[in-house]
Amino acid sequence: MPSLDLFAAFLQISAKRHQGNGAGRRLLQSGLKFCAEAGRPNVWLAVNAENERATSFYIRNGFEKAGETHFQIGDQAYPNHILRASL
């Protein structure tokens, strides 16, 4: 099994018909359970600062703002919130 010191995952529910029905919450809870069972007491993620819906989703699910960063694509920098949660 790979080291869990740094584990990257991407979660997005983009089909409108699947938003708001609990699928994202269940996927997130499954990932957090995996981390907790692996002995990881803290997790963090980055979310596009302009995506207020996603930021609110994570805060409702136990994350808190821990900082800011930028995601660079070519010459364009996109602001991101760093969110963290204790498990």
- Domain assignment of residue 36, yes or no: yes
Q: Which CATH number belongs to the domain containing residue 75 in this structure?
A: 3.40.630.30
- Domain assignment of residue 1, yes or no: no
- Domain assignment of residue 7, yes or no: no
Work out how many domains the chain is built from and give that number.
1
pLDDT tens, residue order, the chain (87 aa): 445 565 666 667 777 777 778 888 998 999 999 999 989 899 999 999 999 999 999 999 999 999 999 989 999 999 999 999 999
- Domain assignment of residue 66, yes or no: yes
- Domain assignment of residue 31, yes or no: yes
Q: Please give the distance of CA 59 from its chain centroid, rounded to a whole number.
A: 10
Rounded distance between C-alpha atoms, residue 67 and residue 69, angstroms: 7
- Domain assignment of residue 24, yes or no: yes
pTM of this prediction?
0.81
Residues of the domain holding 28: 16-86
